[in-house]
Amino acid sequence: MLEIGADLLAAVADAAEAAFPDEGCGLLVGSGRRIVRVTEVVTAPNLRRGEASDRFELDPRIRFATERRLRGGDLRIVGHWHSHPDGSARPSASDLAEAWEPDLVWLIVGVTIGFTGQAQAIQILAHRLDRVAGRSHPVPLRLPEKSACNTRGFRG
């Protein structure tokens, strides 16, 4: 299970919308193994932005800086997030082929053009990716707030 606050989920959605029509990406910081609790979202530059709208490469400097900052503490990198500009929050063949860390959760945001003509996150799903087997496993998403819809950052 992936537990993430509505404010953090909204931050991921906002960053994914801002990256549109390219893929946005970043890291999830938190704790836990069976129940993974996200306490921080890190947005990173997509090094493949403009090269191909359906690919991403997280800037390794952000990854290394985050790992250094977390070293010796209780928190760690628990996952990645990235967006799909085609509206699907399901792992692509490229995601499965490039998934090197099966213990990490992959949060995928489906983004498309909304009724207003602006990018809009329409679906967010969590997965564990198994590159060797070539498949993904859904991870249930849970918002810990009792009234998640009333949280300031949550847009629905």
- CATH value at residue 121: 3.40.140.10
Q: Is residue 156 part of a domain?
A: no
**36-44 and 2-4 strand pairing:** parallel
Q: What is the pTM for the complete model shown? A: 0.88
Residue 118 domain flag? yes
User: How buried is 144 (Cβ within 10 angstroms: 0-12 exposed, 13-18 middle, 19+ buried)?
Assistant: exposed
Region 90-109 average pLDDT: 88
Domain of residue 34, residue span: 2-150
What does the pLDDT read at residue 135? 77
Nearest to 79 by CA among 28, 32, 10: 28
55-70 pLDDT tens trace: 788 999 999 999 999 9
- Residue 155 maps to a domain: no
Cα–Cα distance between 51 and 66 in angstroms, integer?
25
Alpha helix ranges (H) inside 20-138: 60-70, 93-98
* Domain tally, the chain: 1
What band does 156 get if pLDDT is binned at 50, 70 and 90? very low
Task: Evaluate if residue 79 carries a pLDDT over 80.
Answer: yes
Q: Is the pLDDT of residue 93 over 90?
A: no
Give domain status of residue 53, yes or no: yes
Geometric angle at alpha carbon 72, from 7 and 29, rounded to 5°: 20
Average pLDDT value for the chain: 88
Looking at the DSSP bridge assignments, the partners of residue 19 are none
With 70 as the cut, is the pLDDT of residue 131 above it? no
pLDDT value at position 94?
86
pLDDT band at 149 (very low <50, low <70, confident <90, very high): low
- Before 21, cis peptide (omega within 30)? yes
45 lies in some domain: yes
Domain presence at residue 44: yes
Place of tokens 């250094």: 68
Question: What's CA 121's distance to the chain center, in Å?
Answer: 12
